[in-house]
């Protein structure tokens, strides 16, 4: 039997850990699998779910990865990201409400990883600095720094590389005329940690997607002054903002603390938060390996949304690079597919066929009109991959996502108070003890222990 492929996984967030999980499953089943090394630059796993209070640079002087805020609660129902082979009921032993705080989701993720003893496969405090493909030997050279001792490790050779470093960590920060002289605080959502900090302050948020929506709600919940969300292309589409949040066209300039908007109106604010999204940034990959894209439902150059076509070697894969409705389950099925390809259980078609397949998906992407279309599109993508890997699970939760969109449009302040039924356990989540807008205790203990143990 030929040697196992030697695979480098970069990043131990939900995506990278899913690769370790499925590779381990192959191993336990006695099937051909890969020998994996996972490099993680932080001192713990979990990716964005591994909360950090730091902003700017981390303790080693490297860019801080974390973008989540302390008071974050899931912005989608847990039933839409639940793993079919490890449900929330499996983990907590009972039904819990549907929109868990950050710590609860982190605990859930870790439960699945601990159950398979994956921790010893991750090398913490190691940062991948450089990846190049060697044409002559058809493999990769990976340069890694051990941050804990500030030393480069000797170059490592791998047959395959899995890029799982996420794409919500490097802020996109446009310039607006006069902003350099704004007298108040300016930050990007990447550096937003606590909404309480802005109590009583008048705020301008630039952007109209998830970050603008959630940070505006967080800030009002924690007692900020009025919030204006300023949009470039279209408003959020939510008509039921609670009192104190409004949407306006894009700002045109900043004069002192007065903001001028395209519709001719002005407003004075104390704080500006850029909710303008993130850059896809892979400085450690050599040019020909680097995915260059904006946030899209189906980024160009990735067969099955996963395999990098740019370099012609079929050996580098990206996980979790899409605009996300599905999250954990999408990363998971991508990882399962990637494991099957790497271990040789799935054969790839020729490059023309792979190219045509990408084109087909991207043409369909061009026809998407709204969130409901996006959900149907991503459901098809996820289910298509699940079918390819021969999964016994039906991962289609489109009906739940559609209800979630309906609930958000009905009332953005109360959507987290709604309940959803798990498609895997068929049990409904329970109603949370307090409406989200008035719930200040986001501890795991309080959230989980509001129902009796089974």
Interface with ligand FAD by CB under 6 A: which residues? 10-16, 39-42, 47-49, 65, 67-68, 72, 74-76, 81, 127-128, 164-166, 168, 284, 320, 324, 327, 331
Which helix (H) or strand (E) is 108 found in, with range? helix 102-115
273 vs 285: CA distance, rounded Å: 30
Residue 269: φ, ψ to 5°: -135, 160
Min separation Cβ 145 and ligand FAD, Å:
9
Helix residue ranges, H only, 161-228: 210-221
Min separation Cβ 166 and ligand NA7, Å:
10
Close Cβ partners of 319 (under 8 Å, ≥ 6 residues apart): 15, 16, 18, 19, 162, 163, 164, 306, 331, 334, 335, 338
End-to-end Cα spacing for the chain:
48
How is residue 169 annotated by DSSP? S
Min separation Cβ 157 and ligand NA7, Å:
35
Sign of CA dihedral 130, 132, 137, 138: positive
SS3 272: strand
Which whole-number Å values give the CA distances from 284 to 163, 165, 287, in the listed order? 10, 11, 9
Report the residue number, 276 or 306, with the smaller CB distance to ligand NA7. 276
Q: For ligand NA7, which stretch binds (CB under 6 A), given 130-138, 220-228, 272-280, 394-402? A: 272-280
Report the residue number, 139 or 247, with the smaller CB distance to ligand NA7. 247
Report the residue number, 98 or 275, with the smaller CB distance to ligand NA7. 275
Report the residue number, 174 or 264, with the smaller CB distance to ligand NA7. 174
Strand 245-249 to strand 227-231: parallel, antiparallel, or no bridges (unpaired)?
parallel
- Supply angle C-alpha 51, 56, 60, rounded to 5: 80
Report the residue number, 179 or 222, with the smaller CB distance to ligand NA7. 179
Min separation Cβ 298 and ligand NA7, Å:
15
Residue 334 touches which of ligand FAD, ligand NA7, none (Cβ within 5-8 Å per kind): none
Min separation Cβ 452 and ligand FAD, Å:
27
Min separation Cβ 275 and ligand FAD, Å:
10
Report the residue number, 182 or 337, with the smaller CB distance to ligand FAD. 337
Residue 421: φ, ψ to 5°: -105, 130
Residue 447 touches which of ligand NA7, ligand FAD, none (Cβ within 5-8 Å per kind): none
Min separation Cβ 253 and ligand NA7, Å:
13
Single residue of 77, 277, 305, 320 touching ligand NA7 by CB under 6 A:
277
Residue 174 touches which of ligand NA7, ligand FAD, none (Cβ within 5-8 Å per kind): ligand NA7
Give the x-and-dash track for 13-52 against ligand NA7 (CB under 6 A).
----------------------------------------
120 vs 114: CA distance, rounded Å: 10
Report the residue number, 254 or 408, with the smaller CB distance to ligand FAD. 408
Give the x-and-dash track for 122-161 against ligand NA7 (CB under 6 A).
----------------------------------------
Does the protein bind ligand NA7 through residue 216 (CB under 6 A)? no
Closest CA to 297 of 319, 334, 325: 325
402 vs 304: CA distance, rounded Å: 24
Min separation Cβ 324 and ligand NA7, Å:
5
Close Cβ partners of 238 (under 8 Å, ≥ 6 residues apart): 213, 408, 409, 412
Q: In what order do the strands lie in the sheet with 122-123?
A: 122-123, 35-39, 6-10, 160-163, 316-318, 307-308, 302-303
Number of residues that bind ligand NA7 (CB under 6 A): 20
Min separation Cβ 180 and ligand FAD, Å:
26
Single residue of 44, 55, 74, 75 touching ligand NA7 by CB under 6 A:
75
Which residues bind to ligand NA7, rule: CB under 6 A?
75, 168, 172, 174, 189, 206-212, 232-233, 250, 275-277, 295, 324
């Amino acid at each position: 039997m030929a040697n196992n492929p030697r695979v480098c996984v970069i990043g131990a967030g939900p995506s990278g850990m899913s690769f370790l999980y499925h590779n381990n499953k192959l191993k336990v089943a006695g099937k051909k699998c890969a020998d994996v090394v996972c490099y993680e630059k932080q001192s713990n796993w979990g990716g964005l779910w591994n909360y950090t209070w730091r902003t700017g640079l981390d303790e080693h002087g490297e860019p801080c990865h974390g973008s989540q805020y302390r008071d974050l609660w899931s912005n989608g129902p847990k039933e839409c990201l639940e793993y079919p082979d490890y449900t929330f009921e499996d983990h907590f032993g009972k039904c819990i409400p549907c929109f868990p705080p950050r710590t609860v989701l982190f605990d859930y993720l870790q439960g699945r990883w601990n159950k398979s003893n994956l921790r010893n496969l991750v090398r913490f405090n190691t940062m991948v600095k450089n990846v190049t493909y060697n044409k002559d030997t058809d493999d990769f050279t990976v340069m890694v720094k051990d941050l804990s001792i500030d030393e480069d490790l000797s170059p490592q050779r791998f047959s395959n590389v899995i890029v799982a470093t996420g794409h919500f960590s490097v802020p996109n920060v446009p310039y607006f005329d006069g902003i350099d002289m704004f007298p108040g605080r300016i930050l990007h959502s990447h550096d937003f940690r606590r909404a309480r900090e802005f109590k009583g302050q008048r705020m301008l948020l630039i952007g109209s997607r998830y970050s603008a929506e959630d940070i505006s709600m967080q800030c009002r919940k924690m007692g900020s002054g009025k919030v204006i969300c300023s949009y470039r292309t279209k408003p959020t589409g939510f008509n039921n903002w609670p009192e104190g949040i409004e949407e306006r066209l894009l700002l045109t300039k900043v004069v002192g603390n007065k903001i001028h908007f395209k519709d001719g109106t002005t407003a004075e604010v104390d704080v500006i938060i850029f909710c303008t999204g993130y850059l896809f940034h892979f400085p450690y990959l050599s040019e020909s390996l680097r995915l260059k894209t904006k946030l899209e439902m189906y980024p160009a150059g990735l067969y099955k949304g996963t395999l990098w076509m740019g370099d012609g070697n079929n050996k580098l894969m990206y996980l979790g690079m899409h605009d996300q409705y599905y999250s954990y389950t999408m990363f998971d099925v991508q990882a399962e597919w990637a494991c099957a390809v790497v271990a040789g259980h799935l054969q790839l078609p020729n490059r023309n066929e792979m190219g045509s397949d990408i084109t087909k998906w991207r043409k369909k992407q061009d026809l998407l009109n709204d969130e409901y279309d996006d959900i149907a599109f991503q459901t098809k993508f996820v289910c298509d991959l699940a079918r390819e890997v021969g999964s016994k699970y039906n991962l289609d939760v489109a009906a739940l996502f559609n209800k979630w969109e309906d609930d958000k449009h009905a009332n953005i302040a109360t959507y987290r108070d709604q309940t959803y039924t798990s498609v895997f356990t068929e049990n409904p989540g329970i109603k949370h003890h307090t409406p989200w807008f008035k719930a200040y205790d986001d501890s795991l203990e309080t959230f989980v222990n509001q129902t009796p143990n089974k």
